[in-house]
Amino acid sequence: MSDRFYSCEEIKTKIRSLKKLEKKIRFPDLHDSEISKTVRRLVWDEFFDLGKEYKGKAKYSIYNLAAMTREGIREVIDEYFFHVYYRYYKENGIIGVQLYDPDILSGLGLPIDADSKAIKKKFRELAKKYHPDTGGDSKKFIELMEAYKKLTDNT
> How far is residue 26's CA from residue 85's CA, in Å, rounded to a whole number?
8
Q: Which helix (H) or strand (E) holds 2?
A: none
Confidence (pTM): 0.65
43 or 113, greater pLDDT = 43
pLDDT of residue 32: 62
pLDDT of residue 100: 83
- Of the chain, the percentage scoring pLDDT greater than 90 comes to 43
Q: Is-contact 65 15, C-beta < 8 A?
A: yes
Residue type, 73: I
Least confident of 66-80, 93-107, 126-140: 93-107
Provide CB contacts within 8 A for 22, sequence distance 6+: 42, 43, 44, 84
pLDDT of residue 95: 65
pLDDT of residue 143: 92
pLDDT interval class at 35 (50, 70, 90)? low
What value does the mean pLDDT take over residues 29-44? 70
Compute how many other C-beta atoms are within 10 angstroms of the C-beta atom of residue 119.
20
Convert 32-88 into a string of H (helix), E (strand) and C (coil). HHHHHHCCCCCHHHHHEECCCCCCCCCCEEHHHHHCCCHHHHHHHHHHHHHHHHHHH
> How far is residue 6's CA from residue 65's CA, in Å, rounded to a whole number?
9
pLDDT of residue 37: 57
pLDDT of residue 67: 92
Task: Assess whether pLDDT exceeds 60 at residue 1.
Answer: no
